[in-house]
């Protein structure tokens, strides 16, 4: 690379890194109310015994956002999700880090599972958790099964750190392979 | 030098020790500074006129340097001695009648707990620490998330709150008044807005405050307050906050059983008024960006009813 092209390429790469990093670290405190608002009112469901739900399309607004996932991680404990699902390994409730999803592994599926509850134990959190926090939980739950990019996993939690941050844990490969 | 949050305006024995040692160090430092500058000026103006390599000059130089080293060592020893004496004064054991308070640091607010004879008598006072005047207070402090630091300059020095580790400190207020405390260790986004009030009052006023805080919240008596109660219990509020005497019992956010009795809200950030409370509930992120309270876009009627209910929590 000659000197003149270096003069162009280096600042360009630096700018790209900054822009890319911004999205990863964005903390939209002032716009939280507007984050993909959904109606949490009761809906009829077509659930039936037998086959698992197909995955939904779309992504969580915090799919690419390290802060959102770190908040999801905090809320996972704060709202006592870990009381039944442990740290994703499952206990009273099903595991969240494997590839078995009774009610679908898409973001909309997980959103619905949290808001509407599911038979045999999963309580409904309808109107108890604001939409944006449900989306943060969705992104964190998806990250447990490797459905979010590894580079947006939490590098450093803002709250008490009880274990090694996800981003510096040894890479396990994608555990999620699609639902069975 | 007077002020709600000034180490130079001591209001208790521990803070007096700190103020005394501050002034002593300042005075000794001032004398040393004046001497050094004076000797330097003297050396500059009384410089050698010609090249002078006589042995008497070397001899005199040795004496001057030796005297300066001796004076330095003596000063360090004296200051260390003062420091040890002051340190003993700060941690001296208190009497049997001491009030014990558990302090818990959270991002970004304070929790003050007063234990009673029974577990049901536990008083939980977020962001407002009441203490009796003239009676020693023993504080056991812990953090629930990151490192915080408890600092009430008028009463005691800083002490860090370490997660998983209990820190003890003693303080005492000799004059009634309201003092301001502040987190003194950077702890995240809203570290600057993590303050609390220390309300020092006569012993009987303190006891009646304690009795009053032990009571559970009264049931709503008007239709409006009842509606506010329902908004609280059926919405997001009850997911994080406790109101004793109701079904809301979560420990994520500050307890609100006696919210209306407190002088400030949002960890010392805002004065307690209906208007401020409304702004805080609807969009706290515009007041303390990054704090853990989510925005609550309530309908105007629901919000007014909720405010009416919260105002009954005296």
Q: What is the pLDDT of residues B79-116, one digit of tens each?
A: 999 999 998 888 877 777 899 999 999 999 999 999 98
Question: What residues of chain B have any CB closer than 8 angstroms to a CB in chain A?
Answer: 107, 144-146, 163, 188-189, 234-236, 238-240, 252, 283, 285-286, 289-290, 294-297
Contact criterion met (CB < 8 Å) for A158 and B239: no
Q: What is the pLDDT of residues A16-28, one digit of tens each?
A: 777 666 677 788 8
Q: What is the pLDDT of residues A43-54, one digit of tens each?
A: 666 666 666 667
pLDDT class for B214, splitting at 50, 70, 90?
A: very high
Which of B292, B296, B299 would you mutate first to test chain A, the one with the most A CBs within 10 A? B292
Comparing A90 with A129, the larger pLDDT belongs to A129
Q: In this model, does residue B164 exceed pLDDT 90?
A: no
| B13-45 helix and B55-90 helix, angle to the nearest 10 degrees | 170
CATH number of the domain residue A165 falls in: 1.10.760.10
| CA gap B109, B113 in Å, rounded | 13
pLDDT class for A178, splitting at 50, 70, 90?
A: very low
Mean pLDDT for B164-182 is 92
- For residue A159, list chain B residues with Cβ-Cβ distance below 8 A: 107, 145-146
Mark which of B168, B184, B214 sits at the end of a domain.
Answer: B214
B266 in the same domain as B199: no
Q: What is the pLDDT of residues B28-48, one digit of tens each?
A: 999 999 999 998 999 898 877
Mark which of B214, B248, B263 sits at the end of a domain.
Answer: B214
Contact criterion met (CB < 8 Å) for B144 and A160: yes
Select from B107, B238, B289 the Cβ nearest to the Cβ of A159: B107
B255 in the same domain as B129: no
Q: What values do phi and psi take at B175, rounded to 5?
A: -125, 135
Give the three-state DSSP class for B85: helix
Select from A30, A133, A160 the Cβ nearest to the Cβ of B294: A133
Comparing B117 with A3, the larger pLDDT belongs to B117
Residues 85-124 of A with CB under 8 A from B: none
Nearest-CA distance B294 → chain A (Å)? 7
Which of A144-158, B198-212, B241-255 comes out lowest in average pLDDT? Answer: A144-158
Which of A5-19, A42-56, B180-194 comes out lowest in average pLDDT? Answer: A42-56
Using alpha carbons only, give the angle B156, B161, B165 rounded to the nearest 5 degrees.
Answer: 125
Number of domains chain A is built from: 1
- For residue B189, list chain A residues with Cβ-Cβ distance below 8 A: 158
Q: What is the pLDDT of residues B218-265, one digit of tens each?
A: 999 999 999 999 999 999 999 999 999 999 999 999 999 999 999 999
| CA gap B130, A94 in Å, rounded | 47
Q: What is the pLDDT at residue A180? A: 40
> Which residues is B99 bridged to in the sheet?
B137
Q: In this model, does residue B68 exceed pLDDT 80?
A: yes
Q: In this model, does residue A171 exceed pLDDT 80?
A: no
Mean pLDDT for A73-88 is 90
Which of A47-51, B124-128, B295-299, B307-311 comes out lowest in average pLDDT? Answer: A47-51
* Chains A–B, number of C-beta pairs less than 8 Å apart: 42
pLDDT class for A37, splitting at 50, 70, 90?
A: confident
Report the percentage of chain B scoring pLDDT > 90. Answer: 79
Nearest-CA distance B230 → chain A (Å)? 13
Verify cis geometry, omega within 30 degrees of 0, for the bond prior to B240.
no
A85 lies in some domain:
yes
* A125 Cβ contact partners less than 8 Å away, ≥ 6 residues apart: A79, A114, A115, A117, A134
Mark which of B185, B214, B243 sits at the end of a domain.
Answer: B214
Which of B161, B233, B295 would you mutate first to test chain A, the one with the most A CBs within 10 A? B295
Select from A127, A133, A158 the Cβ nearest to the Cβ of B235: A127
Is the CB of residue A127 less than 8 Å away from at least one CB of chain B? Answer: yes
| CA gap B135, B117 in Å, rounded | 19
A3 lies in some domain:
no
User: What's the ipTM?
Assistant: 0.82
Contact criterion met (CB < 8 Å) for A129 and B286: no
A145 lies in some domain:
yes
* B275 Cβ contact partners less than 8 Å away, ≥ 6 residues apart: none
Chain A residue nearest residue B253, CA to CA:
A78
> Which residues is B246 bridged to in the sheet?
none
Contact criterion met (CB < 8 Å) for B294 and A158: no
Nearest-CA distance A140 → chain B (Å)? 17
Q: What is the pLDDT at residue A64? A: 85
HSE at residue A162, side-chain half, CA atoms within 13 A, is: 7
Of B229, B233, B259, B230, nearest to B248 by C-alpha is: B233
pLDDT class for A158, splitting at 50, 70, 90?
A: low
A130 lies in some domain:
yes
Contact criterion met (CB < 8 Å) for B163 and A160: yes
Mean pLDDT for A67-82 is 90
CATH number of the domain residue B57 falls in: 2.60.40.420
Select from A30, A128, A159 the Cβ nearest to the Cβ of B145: A159
Is the CB of residue A132 less than 8 Å away from at least one CB of chain B? Answer: yes
B181 in the same domain as B293: no
Q: What is the pLDDT of residues A96-119, one digit of tens each?
A: 988 888 888 888 889 999 999 988
Buried b (16+ CB within 10 A) or exposed e, B78-109: eeeeeeeebeeebeeebeeeebebbbbbbbbb
Which of A136, A158, A162 would you mutate first to test chain B, the one with the most B CBs within 10 A? A158
Two structure tokens written together for A38: 């959904």
Of B311, B150, B82, B80, nearest to B217 by C-alpha is: B311
Which H, E and C letters describe A25-80, residue by residue? HCCCHHHHHHCCCCCCCCCCCCCCCCCCCCCCCCCCCCCCCHHHHHHHHHHHHHCC
Comparing A131 with A45, the larger pLDDT belongs to A131
Is the CB of residue A52 less than 8 Å away from at least one CB of chain B? Answer: no
Q: What is the pLDDT at residue A179? A: 43
* A177 Cβ contact partners less than 8 Å away, ≥ 6 residues apart: A99
Domain of residue A128 covers 53-180
Two structure tokens written together for B73: 């060592």
Mean pLDDT for B265-288 is 93
Quick count: other Cβ atoms within 10 Å of Cβ B192? Answer: 12
Question: Do strands B137-143 and B99-106 pair parallel, antiparallel, or not at all (unpaired)?
Answer: parallel
Comparing B189 with A155, the larger pLDDT belongs to B189
Buried b (16+ CB within 10 A) or exposed e, A37-50: eeebeeeeeeeeee
Number of domains chain B is built from: 2
Quick count: other Cβ atoms within 10 Å of Cβ B191? Answer: 17
B66 in the same domain as B164: yes
B103 in the same domain as B17: yes
Chain A residue nearest residue B239, CA to CA:
A128
Report the percentage of chain B scoring pLDDT > 70. Answer: 97
Domain of residue B192 covers 1-214
Write down the mean pLDDT value for chain B.
91
Separate counts of helices (H) and strands (E) for chain A = 5, 0
- For residue B295, list chain A residues with Cβ-Cβ distance below 8 A: 32-33, 130
Contact criterion met (CB < 8 Å) for A160 and B283: no
A144 lies in some domain:
yes
A86 lies in some domain:
yes
Q: In this model, does residue A175 exceed pLDDT 80?
A: no
Chain B residue nearest residue A31, CA to CA:
B285
- For residue B239, list chain A residues with Cβ-Cβ distance below 8 A: 79, 128-129
Question: Do strands B123-126 and B109-114 pair parallel, antiparallel, or not at all (unpaired)?
Answer: antiparallel
Residue entry with tokens 């600092």 = B151
Residue entry with tokens 């490969």 = A173
Residues 61-80 of A with CB under 8 A from B: 78-79
């Amino acid at each position: 690379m000659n000197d003149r092209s270096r003069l162009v390429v280096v600042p360009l790469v630096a700018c790209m890194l900054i822009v890319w990093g911004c999205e990863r670290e964005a903390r939209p405190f002032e716009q939280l109310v507007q984050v993909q608002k959904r109606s949490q009112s009761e809906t009829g469901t077509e659930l039936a015994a037998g086959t698992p739900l197909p995955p939904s399309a779309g992504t969580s607004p915090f799919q690419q956002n390290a802060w959102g996932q770190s908040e999801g991680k905090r809320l996972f404990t704060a709202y006592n999700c870990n009381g039944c699902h442990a740290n994703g390994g499952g206990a009273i409730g099903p595991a969240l880090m494997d590839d078995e999803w009774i009610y679908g592994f898409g973001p909309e599926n997980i959103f619905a599972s949290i808001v509407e509850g599911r038979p045999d134990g999963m309580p409904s959190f309808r109107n108890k958790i604001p939409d944006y926090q449900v989306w943060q939980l969705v992104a964190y739950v998806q990250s447990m099964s490797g459905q979010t990019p590894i580079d947006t996993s939490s590098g450093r939690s803002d709250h008490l750190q009880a274990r090694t941050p996800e981003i510096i844990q040894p890479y396990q490969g994608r555990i999620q392979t699609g639902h069975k | 030098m007077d002020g709600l949050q000034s180490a130079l305006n001591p209001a208790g024995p521990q803070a007096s020790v700190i103020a005394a040692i501050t002034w002593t160090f300042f005075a000794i430092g001032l004398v040393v500074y004046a001497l050094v500058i004076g000797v330097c000026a003297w050396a500059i103006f009384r410089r050698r006129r010609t090249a002078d390599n006589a042995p008497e000059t070397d001899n005199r130089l040795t004496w001057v340097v030796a005297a300066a080293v001796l004076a330095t060592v003596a000063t360090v020893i004296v200051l260390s001695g003062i420091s040890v004496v002051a340190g003993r004064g700060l941690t001296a054991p208190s009497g049997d009648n001491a009030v014990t308070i558990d302090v818990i640091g959270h991002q970004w607010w304070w929790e003050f707990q007063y234990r009673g004879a029974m577990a049901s008598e536990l008083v939980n006072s977020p962001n407002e620490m009441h203490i009796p005047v003239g009676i020693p207070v023993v504080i056991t402090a812990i953090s629930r998330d990151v490192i915080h630091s408890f600092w009430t300059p008028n009463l005691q020095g800083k002490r860090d709150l370490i997660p998983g580790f209990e820190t003890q400190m003693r303080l005492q207020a000799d004059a009634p008044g309201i003092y301001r405390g502040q987190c003194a260790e950077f702890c995240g986004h809203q570290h600057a807005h993590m303050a609390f009030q220390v309300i020092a009052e006569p012993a009987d006023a303190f006891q009646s405050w304690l009795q009053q805080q032990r009571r559970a919240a009264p049931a709503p008596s008007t239709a409006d307050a009842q509606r506010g109660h329902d908004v609280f219990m059926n919405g997001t509020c009850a997911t994080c906050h406790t109101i004793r005497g109701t079904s809301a019992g979560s420990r994520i956010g500050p307890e609100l059983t006696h919210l209306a009795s407190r002088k400030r809200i949002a960890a010392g950030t805002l004065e307690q008024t209906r208007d401020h409370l409304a702004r805080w509930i609807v969009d706290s992120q515009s007041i303390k960006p990054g704090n853990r309270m989510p925005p609550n876009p309530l309908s105007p009627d629901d919000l007014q009813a909720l405010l009416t209910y919260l105002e009954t929590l005296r």
